Amino acid sequence: MKKTILIVYLLLYIILFSINAGANDQDILVISEKFINYLQNGQFIEAARLCEEKSEELRLNWKDITDNFGDLINYQMEKNKSKSNTVEATLAFEKQTVYMTFFFNEDNIIISTQIDVNPYVEDSIYSKKYIRENKGKVLVQTPEVFELTNIILVMTDFGIKDPTYFNKRGVYYNQIIKHFTKYRNHPLFTKINFSRENMFNYLALRSNSLAYHFNEDKIVKNEVYFKIMANEIFLENIDLIEDFAKVSNFRSFYNKNKEVYNTAIQLYKTTIPVEQMWVWLEEQFPIKYDTYKIIISPVRSPTNNTYRLVQAGFKKCFMFVPSIGSADIGSLEEALLSRALFTEVVHNYVNPTTDKYRSNVNSAIKNIKKWNKQKYHYYQSPYATFNEYVTWGTFLLYAYDHYEQDLFLKVKERVVRQMTFNRAFIRFDHFADFYLELYQNRGNKKISDLYPEIITWFASYSI
């Protein structure tokens, strides 16, 4: 905690070190306090956006960083081909590591910011009984408080208006609208809303719901997880969430729909070959996990995410993915649904491997725009962009090993099109061909052993 406080004050000092003459001291102080609060609360995207919006007031002095903070903040500055500077800082915030990348022009004014988080945290307690009951198992669940947060998010202004973000087809969604619309004037909805530009609060609310369960009408902490993400939006609004659940009679709604949840869980288990993925991934990477936990909802959006937790040597992967809408699907649809899970779970193998080569990746991908033209902030760093290329590319290697040739080619065409055009990772088509050929000629190497060759390809292709 002392280290965290010290780093926070050092960050505040850095931000205040050089002030634009057009801004007054009080304005700068307010901006800087907001920035520090965002970091402390785990609201890293909000911190990045604040930097961009207030770039005229925030300037960094590189000599001051070098002279005074080198032992606490790992940094590097380099010129890329667009002649803009890049500074990276690695900050240790208690049990999370935050990687901050600032892109600035020749006048030292920030023009873009990316903040990545390593979510490998020890915020869990596993008893011997829990370990015995979960070790080696794949668990697919729709927890009660988790589904409550999904319904809350569906009923926000964004959830109601956006035509595609949630699964609005079928009887279950219609039941949600019929049951909960009358409660949209609850004060909770003045506190909770989100947008496509600000998904972090959405992810934090949904993910941290796993740390809670119902005790009668009270929402209380469970005995296993403290929290999944640093952002405490769930805890900050827990009284309103609890009151909404009570006045809307949510628990009765949940109990009446248990067959819906159980059917979705069974369909997922019988459709997606999770154990096969698990075995294959641990043949390709040295990293091992003790259990997989897959969280689904019949109304879930396609915003997938994953976390890995460890305590006393017991390692668990969480995957938040969409449920399956129908059992009547063909082999291509089944493969693409498998992709949705695979490209989440594989982050738990790829990201820790990339961590060992982070500086090499940063040197290889010097101009993000040559690789990634996404609209939002989520992958605007060499590290995040590289990991997306490798995770989706690794799915194609898995597909190559497990699907018949005709099906594999169809899957490859769909995945390449989605990544290259829909997701705007604009060189993925070239990477997919390179990665597949590298894998086919790997000899006895694991995928983790191919990293130097992969990074070399990115570096040579960046020229």
Same domain as 241, residue 195: yes
For residue 39, give its domain range. 2-117
Q: Is residue 340 part of a domain?
A: no
Residue type, 250: F
C-alpha 451/C-alpha 287 separation (Å) is: 15
C-alpha 368/C-alpha 349 separation (Å) is: 23
- Predicted confidence at residue 285, as pLDDT, reads 98
Helix residue spans in 135-290 (DSSP H): 144-154, 157-161, 171-180, 188-191, 200-208, 233-236, 238-247, 250-256, 258-271, 274-284
Q: What is the pTM of this model?
A: 0.76
Same domain as 50, residue 166: no
pLDDT tens, position by position, 154-190:
999 999 998 888 888 889 999 999 999 999 999 999 9
Same domain as 210, residue 85: no
Residue with tokens 């060189």: 427
Q: Of 280, 306, 329, which closes a domain?
A: 280
Same domain as 163, residue 43: no
CA gyration radius, the chain: 23
Same domain as 143, residue 109: no
- Predicted confidence at residue 309, as pLDDT, reads 79
Same domain as 140, residue 109: no
Q: Of 117, 138, 159, which closes a domain?
A: 117
Same domain as 66, residue 110: yes
Q: Of 60, 88, 117, which closes a domain?
A: 117
How many domains does the chain contain in total?
A: 3
pLDDT tens, position by position, 371-409:
998 876 567 788 889 999 999 999 999 999 999 999 999
Same domain as 139, residue 276: yes
User: Tell me, what DSSP letter sits at residue 109?
Assistant: B
Q: Is residue 94 part of a domain?
A: yes
Percent of the chain with pLDDT over 70: 69
C-alpha 271/C-alpha 275 separation (Å) is: 12
Range 322-326, long-range pairs (CB < 8 A, 24+ positions): 322/167, 322/296, 323/167, 323/264, 323/267, 323/268, 323/296, 323/297, 323/298, 324/264, 324/267, 324/268, 324/271, 324/272, 325/167, 325/169, 325/170
C-alpha 147/C-alpha 257 separation (Å) is: 11
Q: Is residue 51 part of a domain?
A: yes
- Predicted confidence at residue 411, as pLDDT, reads 98
pLDDT tens, position by position, 301-332:
667 888 887 776 788 888 999 898 877 789 99
* φ, ψ (nearest 5 deg) of residue 185: -90, 5
